[in-house]
Chain A
Amino acid sequence: MDIVVLIKQVPDSSEVKLDPKTGHLLREGIGAIMNPDDRHALEAAVRLKEAHGGRIVVLSMGPAQAIDVVSEAIGMGADEAVLLSDSAFAGADTWATSSTLGKAIEKIGKYDLIICGRQAIDGDTAQIGPQVAEYLGLPQVTYVFDIEAVTDGTVVVKKRLEDGYEKVQCDLPALLTVIAEVNRTRYPAIGNLIDACGEQAPITIWNAADIGVMTCDVGLAGSLTHVIRTFAPKGGRQTQMLEGDTGTVVRTLLEKLRENHLVLTDSGVLSAECREGKLS
């Protein structure tokens, strides 16, 4: 069972803020971590390896400092890691990213399964998994929360839906995207971590030329979508604080709601009057 795991280094938590004056991202002082869903993807791969044998190659794309998460992945049990790092890759949308990752996976060559996290916390797009699957012509199962069995060239998984789940059997090779529910992740083993940081670390860095892509097909130049504006989300309503004891504030609130055509009735729904108010 040879597995490729896609991981991404992301800013720690959602502490990213915009400078209210300039509208710029304030990045200073924010650490970087392995994307949480991706950590579960790696854990799933390590468990499959423990059960079925095989090799795990971790693949990441990012700036030079992304070597940190790649090393951590070795610490968690990956056998090998490839970091795609080239200034030409910068500014990529998911189209260009999936092309780049797809090319690299073709170069890695041997795999039965590709596992990635459902989405990264900095972009939340959930697009890379399916786009890489399409690039490679593999079937995909997304939102996987249970990998039940791997037998006879198929994998049986459960995938999460909004109101339940489905059990799916999928031919291998295949690409899965997993959600956090799939497992509890382990801490990296210290011995592995030391190896991962040593000179003999099984980490390879590839640039655009190494994977045979033209710079016009990757990064911002190879992207189909472009950010034209970033801004702080609108907040701010005219908040009115209601004062007084509990009985008074509740009475005032109900009056305010009525003034605004919001009538709470026993049949529950707002009255017709308020529906019209809403549509005005």
Chain B
Amino acid sequence: MTVWVEADLCNGCRRCLKACPYGAIEFSGEKASVLERCTSCGACIEVCRQSAMKSDIRPRSVPDFSDRKGIWVFAEQRNGQLAHGALELLGKARQLAAELGEDVCALLLGHGVSQLAETLIRYGARTVYLAEHEALADYRTLPYTDVLEDLIERHRPGILLMSATHIGRDLAPRLSRRVGAGLTADCTDLEVDPDEKILLQTRPAFGGNVMATIVNRYSRPQMATVRPGVMEAHQRPGNEGRVVTTPVSIHEKSIAAKLLGAVREKKDAVKLCEAKVIVAGGRGVGDAGGFRVLEELAEIVNGAVAGTRVAVEEGWISADRQVGQTGQSVRPELYIACGISGAIQHRAGMLNSRYVVAINKDPRAPIFQVADWGIRGDLREVVPELVRQLKSEVRQA
């Protein structure tokens, strides 16, 4: 499979250059040429108005998926608690459903979890498929995959969304391979293509330096995992939904994995994904002691403290508080970045914050590019002053 340019036909318009997702087209003079890294994806052929891009790729036919309807959300729960990401997905699913004219279903698996169905309906599910069984009490890959496979085969959804949690990232690829569906990981944006009516899945690649939009034309359901914290959950008090109990038969023997024990490590009071205010620190904080003043500020505004990868690696703050590409994505009302230079990997995790304040000594720190308000200064002076003024305001009030 190759793509090449008929130089006589090429008029140098450079449409192909813009269309190539792989940077595999070069212009020497006014003529395009195809580089070795070309993957024969055909994007250039579609945009060329001169028919100068030629290839020996046989066009692939898109199967008829007109019977695949419905937007499904995997309602992850652990110990009877719904993951917040599942509610966020319902919010997004309703928006997609409105554009596609389809319904939103939630998939609830577990043991003794039926009471959660009500919450799922309140957050937008029109149907909750409930599968309860002792063997589903704790998440395990194979029984969960079996149950979901069965549901997909019977009800044939068009889209299936999961949170990109540890469970979601274990289950989604397993299930995608099982049901023959393409899967896009860790999406940060989902839209419907207005013409093709397919899901446009946008995700960061190369450590967040590049965003890529990916489609799933050749298989159903269109599967995607979504980073928790990126979408918004919305309560819909008037929403009406039904619960459909689905029969489950699992033989414990067929499950190759046995859970021997689970340990929950202590969590701070305010979860990052739910915090309205996040006070985050980076290299500039200097040491673990430096985080104490950040904690003080967070406490005053009932916020949460977070850190960059550097702060985690230095041991100033625990890994479950890391914001960024390899940590969590957050969307608080206010994100106060203290002593954070703003590497692209960190910015990827906090770009969706409503307002951003950056405090940094270096006026050229890239964090200022994504801040609404910037303070050039030493956080060890600015943050205590902020604490002081907030405290005195409270006293006056």
Q: How far is the CA of A24 from the CA of B258 in the complex (A)?
A: 47
Contact residues of A between 207 and 250, Cβ < 8 Å to B: 215, 219-221, 223-242, 246-247, 249-250
B195 within 8 A of A: no
Chain B contacts of A110 at CB under 8 A? none
CB of A45 to closest CB in B, whole Å = 20
Q: How far is the CA of A98 from the CA of B174 in the complex (A)?
A: 11
On whether the beta carbons of B166 and A162 are closer than 8 Å, the reply is yes
Number of interface residues of A (CB under 8 A): 99
Among all A-B residue pairs, the 5 with the closest Cβ atoms: A268-B302, A14-B207, A91-B39, A224-B182, A139-B256
Chain A contacts of B354 at CB under 8 A? 278
Q: A residues bordering B, Cβ < 8 Å? A: 11, 13-19, 22-27, 88, 90-91, 93-95, 98, 121-131, 133-135, 139-143, 156, 159-171, 174, 215, 219-221, 223-242, 246-247, 249-251, 253-254, 256-257, 260, 262, 264-270, 274, 278
Chain A contacts of B80 at CB under 8 A? none
On whether the beta carbons of B208 and A225 are closer than 8 Å, the reply is no
**Chain B interface main SS type:** mixed
On whether the beta carbons of B214 and A228 are closer than 8 Å, the reply is yes
Sampled A-B contacts (5; CB under 8 Å)? A95-B177, A159-B166, A224-B219, A229-B21, A230-B210
On whether the beta carbons of B351 and A171 are closer than 8 Å, the reply is no
CB of A221 to closest CB in B, whole Å = 7
Number of interface residues of B (CB under 8 A): 105
Chain B contacts of A171 at CB under 8 A? 256-257
Given A140-B174, A239-B374, residue A219 in contact with residue B204 (CB < 8 A)? no
On whether the beta carbons of B165 and A134 are closer than 8 Å, the reply is no
CB of A166 to closest CB in B, whole Å = 5
Contact of A229 among B23, B180, B213 (CB under 8 A): B213
CB of A188 to closest CB in B, whole Å = 24
B277 within 8 A of A: yes
Given A16-B210, A126-B185, residue A141 in contact with residue B257 (CB < 8 A)? yes
Contact residues of B between 239 and 264, Cβ < 8 Å to A: 256-264
B94 within 8 A of A: no
